[in-house]
Amino acid sequence: MKHSGLLLIVTFIALLFSACNIEKESDYKMIKENFGEIDGKEVVLITLKNTNGNTVKITNYGATVVWIEVPDRLGNIENVTFGYETLDGYLNGDPYFGSIVGRYANRIAKGKFEIDGVEYNLAINNGVNTLHGGPGGWHSVVWDYEVIDKKGDIPVLKFTYNSPDMEEGYPGNMIAEVEYIWNDKNELHINYNCSTDKKTVLNITNHAYFNLKGAGNGDILDHEMQIMASKFTPVDQDLIPTGDNIVVEGTPFDFREPHKVGERIEEEYEQLILGKGYDHNFVLDNDKEVDAIVYEETSGRLMEMMTDQPGVQFYCGNFLDGTQTGHGSRAYNYRGGLCLETQHYPDSPNQANFPSWSLANPLSPVRFIGSL
């Protein structure tokens, strides 16, 4: 099978994209341009160009990935992730296209949790629940940035955000760092590193939407998906986990062998109706090198995802309706893109049986390496 590929490694999440034989360009390049201004802070767009000549564009608004271009099997380049041409797009109803999501990715039931008997109340933004850190989450702040360019190494684009104690209701001052590395194998590595001064919770992810035919080029129902997960966490009508783990075998959630996304998405299965399609946390087996593979036959593009996180939210754009338009004025339609949001399970702070995602050790900074 001839394909082209992309690898996403998240805190490691790595996205590896592969394709045809690639002529090497000259040097790795990094270009910075102005992308706007918010509250007196400059928003920039940084282009990373690897020696294959393939570019990734990232802005410090939400530490957001705006553009990832990779070749198809014939060498034709397309951008495969959703993004806007201007900052305005990100300020007007953006459904987290490519952004960093924090402090707590996914839902926290009723926006409440307890630590050591103290109840914390978060900003609510999804019915009665909190989604993706709240309305003022990390997707919507301007991050500081620096380029770490050690001789002989691929440069690291590093973003830092100082999140104050009780921001959106979360305890603890937190320093969040996100590093992006776009290397010559068309691998995008995303590393996270957070420290805090109080017991608190954390679940950080990247919310990129992918369409390997090209962003805005039809739906993703024909994409072949493989997820190395033997279980998933079922949800209620508000997409809050019930606390159970269900074995995927015999359900439309069994992607241990490749299946087209659309093959079973309309099956009468309560969990699919609740998520309006796939919008669920898959419990990763975490015993293989690669945790998910996406392949699109017409282009030959293939993406591999690797993570050290215990779960991944496989969301296939069920809430998109074409009102968001991005690069080249293309509309991002219903099920036009899919997300692989590597994460701890949703609502973990309220779910005793889920892997814990609390950061303890008050006053001694805790290093977030992805799998505490």
Q: Extract the tokens encoding 177.
A: 């760092």
Under the binding rule (CB under 6 A), the answer on residue 313 touching ligand BGC is yes
Query: Is the peptide bond prior to 73 cis by the omega test (within 30 degrees of 0)?
Result: no
Q: In whole angstroms, what is the distance from residue 368 CA to residue 176 CA?
A: 9
Applying the rule CB under 6 A, the residues between 254 and 283 that interact with ligand BGC are 279
Q: Extract the tokens encoding 35.
A: 């992308």
Nearer to ligand BGC, 102 or 171 (CB): 102
Contact 269, 187 (CB under 8 A): no
**Active site (annotated) includes residue 263:** no
Stretch in the footprint of ligand BGC (CB under 6 A) among 51-59, 133-141, 190-198, 311-319: 311-319
Given the residues 207, 280, 327, 344, the one annotated as active site: 207
Applying the rule CB under 6 A, the residues between 152 and 171 that interact with ligand BGC are none
Query: In this chain, which of 67, 96, 161, 332 binds ligand BGC, going by CB under 6 A?
Result: 96
What 3-state class would DSSP assign to 102?
Answer: coil
Nearer to ligand BGC, 280 or 301 (CB): 280
Residue 309 beta carbon to ligand BGC: minimum distance, rounded to whole angstroms: 14
Residue 313 beta carbon to ligand BGC: minimum distance, rounded to whole angstroms: 5
Backbone angles phi, psi at 114, to 5 degrees: -120, 140
Residue 158 beta carbon to ligand BGC: minimum distance, rounded to whole angstroms: 25
Nearest position to ligand BGC, beta carbon: 95
User: Residues of 333-349 as b/e, b for ≥16 C-beta within 10 angstroms?
Assistant: bebbbbbbbbbbbbbbb
**Active site (annotated) includes residue 37:** no
Query: In this chain, which of 104, 255, 315, 354 binds ligand BGC, going by CB under 6 A?
Result: 315
What 3-state class would DSSP assign to 269?
Answer: coil
Site string for ligand BGC, 318-347 (x = CB under 6 A): -x---------------------x------
Go through the chain and tell me how many residues it has.
372
Site string for ligand BGC, 76-95 (x = CB under 6 A): -------------------x
Which residue's structure tokens are 């990129």? 208
Q: Extract the tokens encoding 25.
A: 């360009």
Q: In whole angstroms, what is the distance from residue 243 CA to residue 351 CA?
A: 6
Given the residues 78, 179, 296, 341, the one annotated as active site: 341
Residue 59 beta carbon to ligand BGC: minimum distance, rounded to whole angstroms: 18
CA-based Rg of the chain, rounded to a whole angstrom? Answer: 19
Stretch in the footprint of ligand BGC (CB under 6 A) among 35-43, 210-218, 288-296, 312-320: 312-320
Nearer to ligand BGC, 70 or 265 (CB): 265
User: Residues of 131-159 as b/e, b for ≥16 C-beta within 10 angstroms?
Assistant: bbbbeebbbbbbbebeeeeeeeebbbbbb
Q: For residue 306, which amino acid is it?
A: M
Angle 287-290-295 from CA coordinates, rounded to 5°: 140
Residue 320 beta carbon to ligand BGC: minimum distance, rounded to whole angstroms: 8
Query: Which residues are near ligand BGC by CB under 6 A?
Result: 95-96, 106, 239, 279, 313, 315, 319, 341
Residues with a known catalytic role: 207, 341
